[in-house]
Structure 1
Amino acid sequence: MAELTGLTPVGVHAVAGHVFEVDTEDGDLVVAKYDPRPDAVLAEVAGLAWLTEPGAVALPTVRAHDDRWLVMEAVEPAAPSAAAAEELGRGLADLHAWGADGFGAAPGPSNAWIGLAPMRCEPGADWAPWYLADRVQPYLRNAADRHLIDRGDVSTIEKACARVDVPREPPARLHGDLWSGNVVWSNQAWLIDPAAHGGHRETDLAMLALFGCPHLDTIIAAYDEHRPLAEGWRARVPLHQLFPLLVHTVLFGSGYARQAVTAAQAALRA
């Protein structure tokens, strides 16, 4: 790290996996992440810069990086608060409104990642066909080929993507992996570990709801008041959750496949 930042580490604390908190000789605290996938590092650096550009939400500042290491500022955690949640809701609305060059358009490499799963980022003009082709089918085919999901359930998921009517909106500037674990609560809510790309704004909000998030109702209410969501958005949440659920299926197993099928059935009933 010293070669990248010019700062001498005096203490290293493992956080998770290949993520470390590093105390430096000048009294600073930074986070250092190691990733053997060069595209993943470049995608995260580009994504953080792209999401920071509107000035709408808080993201850590990149201090230095190469094709294996990313060093950024550390965020001092605190208890979630309603005030921070309101600010996050309004900030997400403004972030999304800054837009993207297309559905799937990303600021970094086209061969990007969401967590440990590859994620193709090629622009599409229409959300529904792009979502099915680039955000659902790659993971659905992977799961089916590995017998993690039944063929009949594959059909159910594809029908949900084909039949559910989603209001046409311009591409939004998405965090792209906005589950609650990627929200760090401090004096405000900070967003980390993006899989940034253009998409439908409802997808970020649906992912935020997937595994539970503190003050979620406050976040959504502040968002909707600031930049109202299209009618019926709640009924479309399961459709947008298919993407992260299928990613989790290929990474973590068939338990998430059952959740994906349940989401598809809910979308079809909406």
Structure 2
Amino acid sequence: MGIQREGEYYTKTNEHHHDQIDLEARGLAWLAEAQEIGGAHVVDMVAHGPGRLRLRAIPSSTCTRDAAHAFGHALARTHAAGAPYYGAPPRGWNGDGWMGNARLTYATSNAPARSWGEFYAHDRLLPILAPARDNGSITAHGCAIVEHLCAKLADGAYDHALPALITAPAARLHGDLWSGNVVWAPSVELTWAPRTAGRDPDRDDSLPTVVGVLIDPAAQGGHAETDLASLGIFGQPYLDAIYDGYNSVSKLADGWRERVGLHQLHMLLVHANLFGGGYGYESVACAKRYA
């Protein structure tokens, strides 16, 4: 993957895996649709061709409490744009995808409807567990703990409702929403964005001076709590304000705070797969809390 800055734009290229760039483009377009209903700002995609993606550069600022609270509002509306089922790819995509350089399983439209727990166990945790075992970051005993948790998930032990604003079968997720994939930008600089982006569709409210802009998605249908939990893995300023803003628009199901680690587990396993080291230990410790 190559990134080159050219004035007000930057270009991402991938000569060896064109489809990674193509998937990112479809994911950005899918998330950007939600801007029309007040969803979070999404980086502006200027041009897209095989293995090449041209994006508008985002002027950076610093996250504030007001910006974080407003981002929570906007993210709730992005999620509420919905997806047809758990594991759905962005519109127009066929086949599997990636989360970073890790493979990501997408379900097909003709697959039978499944609970969140069954999807999370079989399409997210188990496929990424074997590579983490093979690179030595997770022991056989650690794998057994994760597998036991997956059995509980598949049996429905941790199934829980989607947030109140979501009426579709699944939420429309960014899918790789760690803090580095939200760029905080001065709202006055985002003249390319639809006026509706980040705004309450029922009120003519103004944007805060700083807003969060989504970049680098692994877009998919999933549970909204996964995006929210992922924000906390590597530290996010004013995370409590994001949660408060989200909850004020789309109430989360009871017990959501106790499920944060559960929803973080897939991203932790991805890091154990890609980077090894302490991520394997952290993944198993997390799984043990729920197994």
Give the aligned partner of residue 29 of structure 2: 49
Please state if 1:88 is matched with 2:75: no
Preserved CA contact (<8 Å) 1:128 1:162: no
State which drifts further: 197-206 or 94-103: 94-103
Q: Secondary structure at the match of 1:75?
A: coil
**Structure 1 residues 131 and 207, CA, compared in 2 at 3 Å: closer, same or farther?**
same
Equivalent residue letter for 1:102:
Y
Match of 1:39 among 19, 22, 29: 19
Q: Secondary structure at the match of 2:125?
A: helix
Give the aligned partner of residue 189 of structure 1: 212
Preserved CA contact (<8 Å) 2:126 2:150: no
* Paired residues for 1:109-120 under 5 Å: 109-120=94-105
Q: Name the structure, 1 or 2, with higher relative contact order (CA <8 Å, separation 6+).
A: 2
Give the aligned partner of residue 253 of structure 2: 230
Match of 2:51 among 57, 62, 68: 68
Preserved CA contact (<8 Å) 1:60 1:192: yes
Please state if 1:248 is matched with 2:277: no
- Structure 2: distance between partners of 1:49 and 1:133: 27
Preserved CA contact (<8 Å) 1:180 1:212: yes
Match of 1:100 among 54, 65, 83: 83
1:140 to partner: Cα distance: 0.3
1:158 to partner: Cα distance: 2.2
TM-score (norm 2): 0.81
1:95 to partner: Cα distance: 1.0
Match of 1:125 among 114, 129, 147: 114
Give the aligned partner of residue 152 of structure 1: 141
- Structure 2: distance between partners of 1:168 and 1:229: 8
1:166 to partner: Cα distance: 2.5
Equivalent residue letter for 1:111:
D
- Structure 1: distance between partners of 2:161 and 2:29: 27
1:137 to partner: Cα distance: 0.7
Please state if 1:202 is matched with 2:187: no
Match of 2:6 among 6, 16, 22: 22
Preserved CA contact (<8 Å) 2:136 2:276: no
Preserved CA contact (<8 Å) 2:161 2:253: no
Any idea what the Cα deviations from partners look like across 1:82-104, whole Å, max 9, x if unmatched? 22111110111111112101101
Preserved CA contact (<8 Å) 2:4 2:11: yes
Identical positions, percent: 40
1:74 to partner: Cα distance: 0.8
- Structure 2: distance between partners of 1:203 and 1:267: 16
Structure 2, unaligned stretches of length 5 or more?
A: 163-168, 187-210
Preserved CA contact (<8 Å) 1:79 1:186: yes
Please state if 1:58 is matched with 2:41: yes
1:215 to partner: Cα distance: 1.1
Q: Secondary structure at the match of 2:12?
A: strand
Match of 1:161 among 126, 150, 171: 150
1:229 to partner: Cα distance: 0.4
Q: Secondary structure at the match of 2:41?
A: coil
Structure 1, unaligned stretches of length 5 or more?
A: 1-16, 24-28
1:255 to partner: Cα distance: 1.3
TM-score (norm 1): 0.87
Any idea what the Cα deviations from partners look like across 1:116-140, whole Å, max 9, x if unmatched? 1121111453211111111111110
1:146 to partner: Cα distance: 2.9
1:70 to partner: Cα distance: 0.6
Give the aligned partner of residue 6 of structure 1: none
- Equivalent pairs counted in the alignment come to 247
1:47 to partner: Cα distance: 0.5
